[in-house]
Amino acid sequence: MESHPWIPNSSQKIFDEMLSEIGANDVEDLFSDIPREIREKAKIDLEIEQSVSEYLVWRKVKQILKRNKSLLELKCFRGAGCWPHYVPAVVKEIVRRSEFYTSYTPYQAEISQGMLQALFEYQSMIADLTGMEVVNASLYDGSTALAEAILMAKRVNGRSKVLVPRTMNPQYLEVAKTYTKYQGIKIVEVDYCKETGYMNRDDLQNKIDDDTAAVCLEVPSFLGFIEEKPDEIAEIAHSKGALLVVSVDPISLGILKPPADYDADIVVGEGQPLGLGLNYGGPLLGIFGVRDLKLARKMPGRLIGMTTTLDGSQRGFCMVWQTREQHIRRERATSNICTNETLCAIAAAVYLSLLGPKGLRKLCEIILYNSHYLAKQLNSIEGVVAPLFKSAFFKEFVVDFSKISISVEHINRELLKRNIIGGLELSKYFPQLENAALFCTTEIHTKEDLDCLVEALREIISGENNV
């Protein structure tokens, strides 16, 4: 190893001494917790000789990056937790202001009034959307928000069983199981109606008991359908003293009734549709709110409140509640949530302010029209059933290809050759949906985009059938 004048401790002698001190044979030992096959895949061969100029390295990296394709080149019809929505330029412009972009946790309220007010506005707008009484200043994402809601339900009633729909987002379910594995909580799946996708009420009645802490529900569901009469599920849950936890797509609340209207106790959700892009899966935004003010002290995360200055002459904002282990006794903390998603919450506040109630409803109407138009056109292809479930749906729906001899994997591979990202293959998560895919469409798709997908699928299917 050749020493470098700009890099401290780069001589081989010092390097060997450092490795010896920590009991490592070589640098590879430091990464031994990462499986070797993953490390091998992660290596990038720059094909650059040692000690070349910065410019040549930059040019080579740029050439490598050109192999990537973004949604500017691809038509994306895949959602399943992160959806392709348009982010208005003003959202990016405001969140990139240095007051927001570089600021840390607003511990000193005296010098953080702008940040605190923006977060208070976020909380207020999400409370209006969901009908919840109290909303926190954000969690990491939709999956951790659901997991935190399950932990909170146990804190509220001391019970140890949670019921979730079998159609729940599988990644949310995995995160929830990770959170609850050593918390003495058992997660039980409730079956669904094969025709509609709705939660099976009889199975729910059979599985709920006096040890049930919460019943979880997704509206819309991971598979796109909208649960009919969710108030019935709330009634069943409350009859046994359990809480109703509802996971929502916040965009859908521009047209669907808020969870408070069907007596949801806790509302969680993924805030990514509210002005956040698709940045390799993040950063995301966890929404969390409760209907009963009495539950506020059991909530995770932080709450921003409005108050007055010491002399009472001006309105002010501050963090009024933050029950994490850094501030109180560890055993009494409700969460280990850390710096959270403040910047993303501010982006959501800007986005909602920009659209307003009428704009949000109009956006929902466009998405609703696009998704139903696409489903109708796909259903016209011989051998294709869309949507699979005979129920109302929003933004996403299941397309069944089981009547044709072509796999979803093959279809998606052929679509990608045409610069189209197809639907999510569902068999990995739902074995009973063996040759089905979850398709998504939003406001970014034009009629030409939708027709392009339909014609591409028609061509792929007819071409294979003629082989």
Q: What is the pLDDT of residues 152-189, one digit of tens each?
A: 999 999 999 999 999 999 999 999 999 999 999 999 99
Residues 311-321: what's their mean pLDDT?
A: 87
**Whole-number pLDDT of residue 467:** 47
- Per-residue pLDDT band at 12 (split at 50, 70, 90): confident
Inform me whether the pLDDT recorded for 338 exceeds 90.
no
pLDDT tens for 419-430 read 999 999 999 999
Contact yes or no for 226/247 (Cβ under 8 A): no
Q: What is the pTM of this model?
A: 0.88
**Whole-number pLDDT of residue 283:** 84
Structural class in CATH, domain 89-352: alpha beta
**CA separation for the pair 227, 366 (Å, rounded):** 21
**Whole-number pLDDT of residue 48:** 63
Considering the chain, tell me which residue range(s) the CATH 3.40.640.10 domain(s) occupy: 89-352
**Whole-number pLDDT of residue 15:** 84
Inform me whether the pLDDT recorded for 44 exceeds 70.
no
**Whole-number pLDDT of residue 429:** 96
The 10 Å Cβ neighbour count of residue 235 is 13
pLDDT tens for 361-376 read 999 999 999 999 999 9
Amino acid identity, residue 25?
Answer: N
Considering the chain, tell me which residue range(s) the CATH 3.90.1150.10 domain(s) occupy: 75-86+358-465
**Whole-number pLDDT of residue 3:** 72
- Architecture per CATH, 75-86+358-465: Alpha-Beta Complex (3.90)
Residues 216-237: what's their mean pLDDT?
A: 97
Inform me whether the pLDDT recorded for 270 exceeds 60.
yes
Percent of the chain surpassing pLDDT 70: 93
